[in-house]
Chain A
Amino acid sequence: MPAGATPPGTPPTPARAVATRHVVAATDEIPPGGRKLVAIGGRDILVFNLAGEFFAIANRCPHNGGSLCAGRTTGLVQSSEPGRYHYSRQGEIIRCPWHNWEFDIRTGRSVIDPRRIKVRAFPAEVASGAALQAETFPVQVEGEYVVVEA
């Protein structure tokens, strides 16, 4: 996602909190299937590696505030009719450890009510150390880094 863009449905960012890019980890810190909790500007943000793609969502469950970081990941169970199970996207759904609500790691949207119940998603991308060299972060030119815009 290009810098400055927001996922569909994300409420407008308040003017006082202009999104900026934050280097949150070297890519090899978060292996595929792994996660890392980072603090950006007082917000806890959970960064996931889904088979080499990185995604970042707020750590706080919109239900009662459970820390999603402590939840387990699972796949998406859907059905076309009773008795038929369609299981896909293994590892791409995070469950809140408190009440088991499911959230799509890619979008932050809940499974039970994706339109109204969601955790905020933040753009995340991989950038090379060389590209980041021009900025003020202490990076190694030969490395790759996860960059979250928040």
Chain B
Amino acid sequence: MPPAPPPAFPLPRPLALPPGAIDCDLHPTVPDMRALLPHLEPLWRDTAVERGIDAIESNAYPPGAPITARADWRGADGRAATTLAALQSQALDRWNVATGILNPLFGVQLVFNEDMAAAFARALNDWTRAEWLDRDPRLRASIVVPMHNPEHAVEEIERCAPDRRFVQVLLLCMGETPLGRRHWWPVYAAAIRHGLPVGIHAGSAYRHPVTSVGWPSWYLEDYAAQSQGFQSQLASLVTEGAFAKFPDLRVVLLESGVTWLPGFLWRFGKFWKGVRSEVPWVDRHPAEIVRHHVRLTVQPLDAPEGPGTDPDTVRRALDHLRSDAMLLWASDYPHWQFDGDDIVPAGIPADLLRRIAVDNPRATYPRLDPASSLLGRPTGTDAPPAGTHAAPAPPPHQASIPGSPAHGAALPGATIQGARP
């Protein structure tokens, strides 16, 4: 595939990254199953070989799809980001990225056998550690968990979390059940115990059609439908009370797009006002809850483009978020979201760049705090730095509802917080 021709219209000059920039969404590519074999336990290594499992190619990012890898980043085999050298020269070094968070998308979530899925997830995380984290001190990574067995997911979090270079738990946007459902809660409790946000990345385990109206015909539909999936997951997390149960739960939407969020929150909040008594634990406007608990990476940032676009469009769209703490910079490398070195989406206000590239990621990921030690600590003893994960203040109106129980004190989330030394 030839590189894209230069744009025919003038784009705003790309913004330069501030010092200390944190790239919150990088994708190392597992070339094929052979790369994972050294990290699989003998039983599963032999199983993979005997069964001829030489790859797990997900529909989510098919190798040949343009979004999967920018043309000029692909190697001779057509793949991109399969080596540390490529990631360094094409992204980290080139853009002067101080810290990069790896979100491996190798499709271990596709596997139906729960034990095999757990084994593949362990191998994937060990591959990430050995092939990437051990070889570049700028790198951090997410813990990929087997999504379809919460006990296995918790075990994998407990196994990996002592290595503080793992900074997040990674889930896919579309799994078997909505992410707010209570059987997921032990996963969130484990994440909080270790100061890990829960990242939800675009993609599907393909247990269900990627749209709620049935299987689409084209990849374009699949990719565009991801934002619907994110909306459904946010609705589930809020209405099921995951954020009420876990005041410290932070969720990062990765490669979700951004600009759909205000419209969704307008709709979601409007109807909440009439039926809030069905979900009485949702005791604040959903937009307020989302602003407090949810963060989003800025790549892609869906906005009008092309000649005649009002340069202020993006700023106005972002103003609807009513928060400058929600956005995290990410390149989404090697996914093809931009050309050349336009590493900051056009229209991002310059005065917001330091916040989204440095301050917000640090506030979101406790383990990225410069004072945070990289040495492993005993399980369960790492509290997030003060201030960054404070429980939300009780809604000021609560006290004025007669008979209202004291909010916060009675929440089990507070118990979890209190369990930390």
Contact = CB atoms under 8 A, between A and B. Distances in A.
Indicate, yes or no, whether A interacts with B: yes
Interface of A: 63, 74, 76-86, 88-89, 99-102, 104, 106, 109, 111-115
A85 B280 contact: yes
Interface string B223-245: 00000000000000000111011
A82 B182 contact: yes
Given A80-B410, A81-B241, A81-B410, 7 more contacts: A79-B241, A79-B281, A82-B240, A100-B274, A102-B276, A111-B401, A112-B273
Contact of A81 (B278, B402, B412): B412
Nearest to A75: B277
User: How many interface residues does chain B have, given as a range?
Assistant: 20 to 34
Contacts of A101: 273-274
B405 A106 contact: no
A89 B403 contact: yes
B326 to A, nearest CB: 22
Nearest to A98: B274
B267 interface: no
Contacts of B5: none
B402 A99 contact: no
Residue with the highest number of chain A CB atoms closer than 10 Å, among B242, B277, B400, B404: B277
Nearest to A89: B403
B396 interface: yes
9 contacts: A78-B403, A80-B411, A81-B244, A81-B245, A89-B402, A113-B397, A114-B401, A115-B396, A115-B400
B285 A112 contact: yes
A131 to B, nearest CB: 29
A39 B282 CA distance: 37
Nearest to B185: A82
A76 B403 contact: yes
Contacts of B213: none
B222 interface: no
B8 interface: no
Interface in B278-303: 278, 280-281, 283, 285
A24 to B, nearest CB: 25
B275 interface: yes
B402 A104 contact: yes
Contacts of B400: 109, 114-115
Residue with the highest number of chain B CB atoms closer than 10 Å, among A79, A88, A106, A114: A79
A42 B172 CA distance: 59
